[in-house]
Amino acid sequence: DGGITQSPKYLFRKEGQNVTLSCEQNLNHDAMYWYRQDPGQGLRLIYYSQIVNDFQKGDIAEGYSVSREKKESFPLTVTSAQKNPTAFYLCASSSRGASSGVNTGELFFGEGSRLTVL
């Protein structure tokens, strides 16, 4: 079945450690995104990528890094520089409209990864 797979679902880390969250999609989507969700804050964009080997910072990129070496994969590293890393992280992807070639805006989400830093 087509979809987005995030792993791990739950992760505990000590302060000062880097951690990498995995996101894989088999939807053949060009664009991929990472969002952070905190209670009462909605979804905030961390990084996004419209094409392989290219990515842009979102609204809250500080303390995070990404790579996009393959179309299917968009891993997110939460570095020790991120001051409040405990959160729920959502990966998403989107396709281009068939006629316009422009991103349609509709996102398909993974199940999320809940990171707790102790």
Binding site for other proteins (CB under 8 A): 31, 33, 35, 40-45, 50, 90, 102-112
Least distance CB 38 / other proteins (angstroms): 10
3-state secondary structure the chain: CCCEEEECCEEEECCCCCEEEEEEECCCCCEEEEEEEECCCEEEEEEEEEECCEEEECCCCCCEEECCCECCECCEEECCCCCCCCEEEEEEEECECCCCCCECCCCEECCCEEEEEC
CB of 80 to other proteins, least distance (A): 26
- For residues 50 and 65, which CB has a smaller minimum distance to other proteins in the complex? 50
Q: CB 70 → other proteins: shortest distance, Å?
A: 20
Between 36 and 85, CB nearer to other proteins: 36
Closest CB to other proteins among residues 78, 91? 91
